[in-house]
Structure 1
Amino acid sequence: MPELPEVETVVKSLKKRVLNLIINKVEIFYPKIIKTNISVLDFQKQIENRKISDIQRIAKYIIFVLEDKVLISHLRMEGKWFLYDKNEVYDKKHVLATFHLSNNKILNYHDTRKFGTFDLQDLNDYKSNNPIKKLGPEPFVLEANSNYLYEKMSKSTRHIKTMLLDQTIIAGIGNIYADEILFDAKISPLITGNFLKPKDYQRIIESSKKILKKSIELGGTTIDSYQPEQGIDGKFQNELKVHTRKGKKCYECGNEIIKLKVNGRGTYYCKTCQY
């Protein structure tokens, strides 16, 4: 599943390739992808003939700025954006939407699981509406000595791993990076929020910034069936310390990495290093 670093990688790539192009025509092959309460025809009319003025990222969302409108794309499990030349041959299987662009380009949204979503909103107020409104801050905007996480989590009996995945508390952290962040911070994913001290939450913030920044630099993580963007393979999977390493030796202490379920999510950690 694409997380913050993978989405950032997609945004950087798309900005280099489609910025300032005009959307001449839109084809929607899976209408349920549109979450805005409008018809497919209205969706097409409101997007066609608009310029892609900018492409931004908020948490795990891609924001296509189309002059005074925004198209909010959430990739969910396996969503991908692929760019082709107009006459280029490509596999149309799993293509849920096609955007015919100026400069003889075609931008396809490809999603084998069909979990991804499109929201079309006005540029001037989309941050005040869902899905963006409900998001918590990203780790990058939190100070290392911030009391934010302590105030949000310290009275909770939920596992810290579960709370790190709660996008309404802190945005952008998914399953892979939650495991890596907690290993770096030397905190067990099984500990509950009410047992952690302010200094523990400081370590989580510091580790969050460190891990996410490193992954962005390396183009994200490519594991299972996910590739961050057409022709791009992330390199951060080579840096993983615990995630996917069940049964292997911990790089720090040499003991075995354990896998278990935390609130239904596969979780990897070292019982010796994380407490």
Structure 2
Amino acid sequence: MPELPEVENVRRSLESLVVGKTIQHVDVRLPRIVRTPDDVRQFEFMLSGCTIEGVGRRGKYLLFDVPPYTLVSHLRMEGQYRLAERGEETAPHTHVVFTFTDGTELRYRDVRQFGTMDLIGPGEPLPKGLQSLGLEPFDPQLDPHTLYQRIHHRTAPIKAVLLDQSVLAGLGNIYVDEALFRAGIHPERPANRLTKAQCERLLGVIRDVLQEAIDAGGSSIKSYVNGYGRHGAFQMALNVYGRDGEPCRVCGTEIVKLRVAGRGTHVCPVCQMRPRKRRTSHKTRNGTLLRTTGEKEFEA
């Protein structure tokens, strides 16, 4: 799924390609892509005559400013936008076509058909997923103390917490794996076991990884391309994600793949020490044998 760097690159490309263009008409070929309004014919009618005045982003969502509406688009797994000339051959799996008055077309293609579009009018609520987003990693309001406060009551593995979009918006499997590697934190470490110093380091590396990925055009692991049809290059710089069985770029140890929070997770066993087993001890109180279990200990 495209994450913050990929969606940001799509946003930037679309900003230069379609801002200022006026929509002549819209053709929705797969109705389930459009969630709001319920009637796709109404969706097509409402957008006709509107001008795209901006393209924003919130987390992994694209926000097209088409006054008086906001078109919220989530690419999900493999959604793509491409600008084409009218009459140009249409690629398979093209589900929505925005035709502009200048003769060009913005085409939405989605092989997996998981993407969504919501056309939101003035005063109407945003989609629930967008409403529940937390701060973005680059938000000036987010500092190490704030991150610590957001996670220090959570007992779930830190990877699961970072994937929670209500905690931090925009992170996904690729960049969580990469950030945890750089921070030297095992993905199974309970979030509430991170110190304030570790939170400071983690926030710093999250920002570094995301900025480097944005500058490289994102990561094209499968089908990701930006609005110009260009692939990203950051996949060439990944330290752990997708590199199971290969040597760690830092220590040479073989990268292993685990399953954490239901997701394939890539770890260096040396740079990110695994949790020790729980320790069990026995003691007596007034002649009664008691069994106590210590907390997991981590070495990262």
Structure 1 unpaired stretches of 5+ = none
| 1:88-132 deviation digits (Å, cap 9, x = unpaired) | 1232x21111111121101111001110000111356656x6332
Distance 1:52 1:241, change over 3 A: same
The equivalent residue for 1:223 is 221
The equivalent residue for 1:119 is 118
The equivalent residue for 2:10 is 10
| 1:60-85 deviation digits (Å, cap 9, x = unpaired) | 11111002211000000000001101
Q: Displacement of 1:265 after TM fit?
A: 0.6
| AA aligned opposite 1:182 | L
Residues 137, 169 of structure 2: 8 Å contact kept:
yes
Distance 1:90 1:41, change over 3 A: closer
In 1: Cα distance, 2:108 partner to 2:37 partner = 20
SS at match of 2:249: coil
Identity %: 38
- Report matched runs for 1:243-254 at 5 Å: 243-254=241-252
In 2: Cα distance, 1:243 partner to 1:142 partner = 28
In 2: Cα distance, 1:131 partner to 1:245 partner = 31
The equivalent residue for 2:196 is 198
Q: Does residue 98 of structure 1 match 2:81?
A: no
What's the Cα RMSD here?
1.6
How many pairs align? 273
Q: Which moved more, 1:138-147 or 1:215-224?
A: 138-147
The equivalent residue for 2:280 is none
Query: TM-score, normalised to structure 2's length?
Result: 0.87
SS at match of 1:63: strand
SS at match of 2:235: helix
Aligned partner of 1:178 among 166, 176, 179? 176
| AA aligned opposite 2:206 | S
Q: Does residue 138 of structure 1 match 2:136?
A: yes
In 1: Cα distance, 2:236 partner to 2:72 partner = 31
Aligned partner of 2:150 among 147, 152, 161? 152
In 2: Cα distance, 1:142 partner to 1:195 partner = 25
Q: Which moved more, 1:146-155 or 1:64-73?
A: 146-155
| 1:141-175 deviation digits (Å, cap 9, x = unpaired) | 15674322212211212110111111011000011
Structure 2 unpaired stretches of 5+ = 273-299
The equivalent residue for 2:275 is none
Query: TM-score, normalised to structure 1's length?
Result: 0.95
